[in-house]
Amino acid sequence: MQTQSNPKTQTQQSNVVFTRTKATKSGTKESPNWVRISAASAIALGFKSGRFTQEFEFGGINLLLNYDDGCKSDCAYCGLARTRPGDYEDKSFIRVEWPLVETDTLVERMRLLEAKLTRLCISMVTNPYAFRDTCTITDTIVRNVRTPLSILVAPPTLNRAKLEEFKTRGVDMIGIGLDAVTETLFRSLRTDVPAGGSGLSWTQYWKIVSEARTIFGPWKVNCHTVVGLGETDFDLIDMFDRLVSQEIFPYLFCFNPEPDSRMGSTPKSTITRWRRIQLAKYLVEQRSYKVKDFEFSNDGSLTGIKTPSATELVAAANDGIAFMTNGCPGPNGEPGCTRPYGSYKPSESYRDYPFLPSTTDLQRITSELELDGLTL
């Protein structure tokens, strides 16, 4: 395995200049030398013992940058939010623990298990060193592992040149954690904290979406969207339509309250609403439905789907794909990033399935969907 270059002596390889020199404290476990990995990734790579509630092939490895001073952003629903009580090191992210591992050890483990891996992803956080450290970790991964790599980017830390730099270094796809699907909601939930040169703003997020789409091409960019932050069904379906028409994937997450976060006591969406939104997104993405093919009440709730026949809708639900976890694909287009527990606790039933739902799962999904009355 090739070793990771020392960030202090890293040579400039392109038009992007790393302007800051990090004052590394000895003994700290910060990126780029250390990263956090999801609990599911830790189990899959043998860093942690444990079993999934149901056995399935798991090959999506999610990394998260780690800094002693944490993420500078303060999103109302996020477990890593700056003002959420507790030490950053102990904070959970999407409700599950993210163990810290040494980057070199992790990459070596990924290299040995490469045949089982489907997608790798580095999640940035809003931190002045995030771009430089993501480049360093990307280089180490790309030199050693051929599994396609995504970056879930922190838009406040980026610009066009930096996105081009990711592309040059071998990144395959870009994800943008939009989460809130309207500007009003985004502003109310995602505090505008200056970091890395610019603030967390709706305009900057969309600028990065647009630049990434230009640089990485069709279906190589995705936006994470969350159900249950206060948006309406119309807001979500309108956003799916808008993204799909630009050949950008909308990926769906279910809001899952993080204890002690500002939205810690907000309930998650009902299962029926969640299932209907999953189906609506599938219809937009895979069956060319537009927002005009759905009907809404005055408060924006989904009340009907204009479908040629009820049978078509039932068939669309029954193929099960609508209810699988959305994520960047594997090398052959198969599900790559399946993030078990991204939208539900390990003790809860699946909100999204990291595998094709079984006949029994589909019976349960069908009753949760309550499709009667939605066909127009």
| Listed residue (116, 135, 114, 113) closest to 124, CA to CA | 135
On the CB side of 306, how many CA atoms lie within 13 Å of its CA?
Answer: 9
With contact defined as beta carbons under 8 Å apart, do 65 and 35 qualify? yes
Instruction: Report the C-alpha gap between 279 and 276 in whole angstroms.
Output: 5
Q: Which is nearer to ligand SF4, 59 or 175 (CB)?
A: 175
Residue 151: which H helix or E strand, with range? Answer: strand 149-153
Residue closer to ligand SF4 by CB (options 101, 171) is 171
Binding footprint of ligand SF4, residue count (CB under 6 A)? 12
Question: Other CB atoms closer than 10 Å to residue 48's CB: what's the count?
Answer: 15
Instruction: Supply the minimum distance, in Å, between the C-beta of residue 222 and ligand SF4.
Output: 6
250: contact with ligand SF4 by CB under 6 A: no
By CB under 6 A, the residues from 210 to 239 that bind ligand SF4 are 222, 224
Name the residue nearer to ligand SF4 (CB basis): 32 or 335.
Answer: 335
Query: What is the residue type of 232?
Result: T
> Hey, what's the torsion of the CAs at 240, 244, 249, 251, to 10 degrees?
10
Residues 102-141 that bind ligand SF4 (CB under 6 A): 119, 121
Q: Which of 51, 54, 60, 38 is nearest to 356 (CA)?
A: 54
The neighbour count for residue 363, using CB atoms within 10 Å, is 11
Instruction: Return the number of the residue (162 or 369) whose C-beta is nearest ligand SF4.
Output: 162
For residue 150, state whether it binds ligand SF4 (rule: CB under 6 A). yes
If binding is defined by CB under 6 A, does position 152 make contact with ligand SF4? Answer: yes
337 binds ligand SF4 (CB under 6 A): yes
List the x/- string, 162-181, binding to ligand SF4 by CB under 6 A: -------------x------
Among 64, 284, 328, 369, interactor with ligand SF4 by CB under 6 A = 328
- Residue of minimal CB distance from ligand SF4? 175
| Residue whose C-alpha is closest to residue 288's, from 233, 247, 230 | 247
CB of 28 to ligand SF4, least distance (A): 25
Q: Strand, coil or helix: what is 362? A: helix
Task: Kindly give the interhelix angle for 359-369 and 310-318, rounded to the nearest 10 degrees.
Answer: 130
Mapped onto helix, strand or coil, the DSSP state of residue 264 is coil
Identify the residue among 166, 205, 240, 251 touching ligand SF4 (CB under 6 A).
251
Output the smallest distance, CB 212 to ligand SF4, in A: 11
CB of 95 to ligand SF4, least distance (A): 15
User: Is residue 73 a contact partner of residue 81, using CB atoms and an 8 Å limit?
Assistant: yes
**Considering beta carbons, is residue 153 or 305 the nearer one to ligand SF4?**
153
Q: By the criterion CB under 6 A, which residues form the site for ligand SF4?
A: 62, 119, 121, 150, 152, 175, 222, 224, 251, 327-328, 337
